[in-house]
Chains A and B, each alone.
Chain A
Amino acid sequence: QKEVEQNSGPLSVPEGAIASLNCTYSDRGSQSFFWYRQYSGKSPELIMSIYSNGDKEDGRFTAQLNKASQYVSLLIRDSQPSDSATYLCAVNGPNFGNEKLTFGTGTRLTIIP
């Protein structure tokens, strides 16, 4: 099992709809969870962080964490063409090494106008 697993996509979503991105992780002791957005040829950009079970909302973005299921997701409401990018899930935990983030391979999202 991969340490951090994401569906590689591509995921295509019509403009204005909700995009749902999923991530599972193997280390039950993981404590911090992050979503990064990476445009092609650019560097990753932190868009959401979540540390406790439940939902966290920031504008059009909602992160959801379920530690019992070892699952974290990102919802993007009212999807815009500018949301088309690769979304990286990253996890920090004791078995990964508290000092570093372990990344999934990313989900490529395309918003269709």
Chain B
Amino acid sequence: NAGVMQNPRHLVRRRGQEARLRCSPMKGHSHVYWYRQLPEEGLKFMVYLQKENIIDESGMPKERFSAEFPKEGPSILRIQQVVRGDSAAYFCASSPDKSYGYTFGSGTRLTVV
């Protein structure tokens, strides 16, 4: 049973480009969460999705950030017109039920140059 799969592991983008981060949850997990971790800081919630639905996006910046979890395929976190402050580790997690702890993917480390 493969764990939560994220790709790419490392992503370098120039300011103004778009970043697309992908996450495939564990088999049987229908709840997907995206978190961002800045250097020396804790994990900050961004968005919670179930298939084809955004349940809670209260942690997402209002502009440039979007997320989806289509019926088929991985969940995508999209960051448009990236800026240096977007440089961080982005972790995706999944769970079978919202009351359980998460299983995290290995993360995507985004560097904006």
Note all chain A residues with C-beta closer than 8 A to B44.
Answer: 103
Other-chain contact of B45, A100, A104, A106 (Cβ < 8 Å):
A100
Q: Which of A9-17, A39-47, A71-79 contacts B (4 or more CB under 8 A)?
A: A39-47
| Minimum C-beta distance from A8 to chain B (A) | 9
In the complex formed, the residue of A with least CB distance to B50 is A99
| Minimum C-beta distance from A108 to chain B (A) | 10
Q: In the complex, how many residues of chain A place their beta carbon closer than 8 angstroms to a beta carbon of chain B?
A: 23
Q: In the complex, how many residues of chain B place their beta carbon closer than 8 angstroms to a beta carbon of chain A?
A: 24
**B1 at interface (Cβ–Cβ under 8 A)?**
no
Note all chain B residues with C-beta closer than 8 A to A103.
Answer: 35, 42-44
- Contact assessment for B48 and A100 in the assembled complex, using a CB-CB cutoff below 8 Å: yes
- Contact assessment for B101 and A90 in the assembled complex, using a CB-CB cutoff below 8 Å: yes
- Chain A: residues with CB nearer than 8 A to chain B? 31-32, 34, 36, 42-46, 49, 88, 90, 92, 97-106
